[in-house]
Amino acid sequence: MHSTQTVVVQVAVSLNSNDVTIFHRQGQEWAAGETLSEHDKLITSIDWAPNSNRIVTSSQDRNAYVWSLTPDPQTGTTIWKPTLVLLRINRAATFVRWSPNEDKFAVASGARAIAICSFDPEGDWWVSRLLKKPIRSTVLSLDWHPNNVLLAAGSADMKARVLSAYIKDVDKRPAPTVWGEKLPFNTICGEYTSPSGGWVHSVGFSPSGDVLAFTSHDSTISIVYPAHGPNAIHTIKLTHLPLVTLTWTREDEIIAAGHDCQPFVFRGGEAGWELAGTLDDNKHAGGGSTGVGGGRGFGAAGAGAGASPVGRLSSAAFTTFRNADTRGFASMASSPTSPGGSGGLPSAGGGGESEIFTLHQNTITEVRVYEGVPGDVRKVSTSGVDGKLVVWDVANVSPLGAAGLSGKLGGMHIR
Amino acid sequence: MDVNFRKIDIDQYDEDVLQEEELYEADPRDPAQVLNDAKAKVGAVRNALSKGDTVGAINLVLDGTPVGPNVEEAKNLNLQTLTSILNSTKASEIPAIVRSLSQDAQDTLMKYLYKGMALPGWGEVSGSVLLGWHEKLTEVAGTGCIVRAMTDRRTV
């Protein structure tokens, strides 16, 4: 996962390990800087607070650390120094986010609880209060409301909830919102079930905080308008694989990504939402595949563009194998058949190149804001299981299943 | 002292264990009524098929299907009714029928296809039929439909 600091462009990245590496932008390249090592187990989430310049990391070792820049007594340079946060959870921490005012952060965990941590100046440490009550399983993702008090949580018990994380000495009493008034700690302001039952992978408040979006493992994305009544939920059932991460770019636009390896754009409003397209133009050279037009065959919506989806997949593969057999090819330089060009077909056999047509070659696990302010985000960055970190321009939306404009900038591949 | 303490099912004493039922909304109808509904559908479906109205027949079966525990008999009856429709449809008509179904109906149909495939020995009995429908349904509804058939705890 990654988290970006905006002033000097830096990014904190953890590559499935116990450490975090800070990269900074040098021209068109990224240069590796300091490594932050303190965790004993895999780091599950990182968040960088841009204004107070602190990084918080959470890990499977049931701990979280807050890192701040301090001068090193020996060398005089500034280094990142960790401060342990006592979360008091007995399971892994899965997700962490700073609050908008950066005076608190929330840590989701497998202990069926969310730890809200604030700084206690007397003890000079971070103390936590646990939100437990209605949560019945691991909390997978969090998002703070702009008022610094409300928190959305998506959980493995198929529910997305909005809870109050009001801490007495840190927060002033918040103004009433569409989610409620008078919100003592651990009030449940809303509870929404995923439509066909699936873990809620990702939740997000809109820039105004009046709308909640969540994606779940049943390949749906739901957008809730609490101001319009308890049933004002727009659900889009997708024809492709589940989305695991989302971010709002504007009040009427969401970028979400997941197992389909490309960022999707959703647009809409109170009247309804729809899938508007993808940020990926699906034209990347896939090894021995046919390269006929764009459009990844697998489930990429739209019956148009002649892309032959899953149905003909097997016959194309069989034909390829059969041709390889009769002509004695060792590797597939070109597949002569493939009716209709099933774009997503990984090249069969010996060639060893089985790239798919999207830029990311594996699930995208995180999409974060890269440039812009909440409400007017211009670029987002995505990182995924394939080790790539890609920055996308939000304006370049391609319709699904067709070739479109290229929208990628500054991709970074980390090994 | 009871030496069989190792064989105690400790989860039954845990008050906070997550039960299966908490994860979805159960069918509000009474099990006996669900069974009656399923039986009534058999007749209605036969009527529709004899008139050649396959779309209507499928929608009858898929609408208000029994889900959840306690309704096994109704579920099996429904599966048989649906299989009779699937078997009797010509391959060329399948894409049009599938496209006319609502998204919820498509998801339910996919659940039934997988339920049919879960029966032992389905390959010889109805292999080509189930696979043919699966292929056409996936072309229209995509892999998302398959994912929903797998994640939904309201099993048919």
pLDDT at B110 over 90: yes
- pLDDT band of residue B13 (cuts 50, 70, 90) is confident
State the complex-level ipTM.
0.85
B153 Cβ under 8 Å from any chain A Cβ: yes
- pLDDT band of residue A401 (cuts 50, 70, 90) is low
pLDDT, position A310: 41
Q: Give B-chain residues touching A301 at CB under 8 angstroms.
A: 142
Gap between the Cα atoms of A238 and B151, Å rounded: 14
- B60 within domain boundaries: yes
- B16 within domain boundaries: no
B152 Cβ under 8 Å from any chain A Cβ: yes
pLDDT at A93 over 90: yes
- B73 within domain boundaries: yes
Q: pLDDT tens, B66-98?
A: 887 778 888 888 888 888 888 888 888 899 999
- The whole-number average pLDDT for the span B122-136 is 86
Nearest by CB to B148, from A196, A298, A301: name it: A196
Q: Which of A336-345, A357-366, A390-399, B44-53 has the lowest mean pLDDT?
A: A336-345
| Closest-CA residue of chain B to A311 | B135
Give chain B's domain count.
1
For Cα atoms B40, B46, B51, give the angle at the middle one, nearest 5 degrees.
130
Please give the structure tokens belonging to residue A32.
């590796």
B144 Cβ under 8 Å from any chain A Cβ: yes
B103 Cβ under 8 Å from any chain A Cβ: yes
Q: State whether A218 and B22 contact (CB < 8 Å).
A: no
pLDDT, position A405: 31
Q: Give B-chain residues touching A240 at CB under 8 angstroms.
A: 142-144
Nearest by CB to B151, from A137, A198, A310: name it: A198
Q: State whether A311 and B151 contact (CB < 8 Å).
A: no
Q: Give B-chain residues touching A303 at CB under 8 angstroms.
A: 139-140
| Closest-CA residue of chain B to A196 | B152
- B12 within domain boundaries: no
- pLDDT band of residue A317 (cuts 50, 70, 90) is low
- pLDDT band of residue A12 (cuts 50, 70, 90) is confident
Average pLDDT, chain A: 80
pLDDT at A284 over 80: no
Closest CA to A218 of A244, A192, A249: A244
Q: What is the pTM of this model?
A: 0.80
CATH of residue B140: 1.25.40.190
Q: Give A-chain residues touching B143 at CB under 8 angstroms.
A: 219, 239-241, 298-299, 310
B134 Cβ under 8 Å from any chain A Cβ: no
To the nearest whole Å, the CA of A377 is away from the closest chain B CA by: 28
For Cα atoms B61, B66, B71, give the angle at the middle one, nearest 5 degrees.
135
Q: pLDDT tens, A19-71?
A: 999 988 887 788 888 899 999 999 999 999 988 999 999 999 999 999 999 88
B147 Cβ under 8 Å from any chain A Cβ: yes
Rounded to the nearest 10°, the torsion over CA B47, B48, B49, B55 is -170
Q: State whether B152 and A193 contact (CB < 8 Å).
A: no
Best A192, A193, A196, A260 member to test B by mutation, with max B CBs in 10 Å, is: A196
Pairing outcome for strands A64-71 and A54-59: antiparallel
- B124 within domain boundaries: yes
CB A388 within 8 A of CB A410: no
Nearest by CB to A196, from B139, B143, B151: name it: B151
- The whole-number average pLDDT for the span A229-241 is 88
Gap between the Cα atoms of A396 and A226, Å rounded: 31
CB A273 within 8 A of CB A223: yes
pLDDT at A248 over 90: yes
CB A351 within 8 A of CB A332: yes
Classified as helix, coil or strand, A164 is strand
- Identify which has the larger pLDDT, A291 or A75: A75
Please give the structure tokens belonging to residue A321.
């194998």
- B111 within domain boundaries: yes
pLDDT, position A5: 65
- B21 within domain boundaries: no
Q: Give B-chain residues touching A132 at CB under 8 angstroms.
A: none
Provide the chain B residues 43-102 that lie in CB contact (below 8 A) with chain A. Answer: none
To the nearest whole Å, the CA of B50 is away from the closest chain A CA by: 30
State chain B's maximal CA–CA distance in angstroms. Answer: 72
- B22 within domain boundaries: no
- Identify which has the larger pLDDT, A283 or A344: A283
CB A383 within 8 A of CB A396: no
Range of the domain at B97: 30-151
Q: Give B-chain residues touching A311 at CB under 8 angstroms.
A: 135-136, 138-139
pLDDT, position B9: 82
Gap between the Cα atoms of A246 and A258, Å rounded: 9
Task: Please report which helix (H) or strand (E) contains residue A94, including its range.
Answer: strand A93-98
- Identify which has the larger pLDDT, B31 or A221: A221
Q: State whether A196 and B135 contact (CB < 8 Å).
A: no
To the nearest whole Å, the CA of A112 is away from the closest chain B CA by: 11
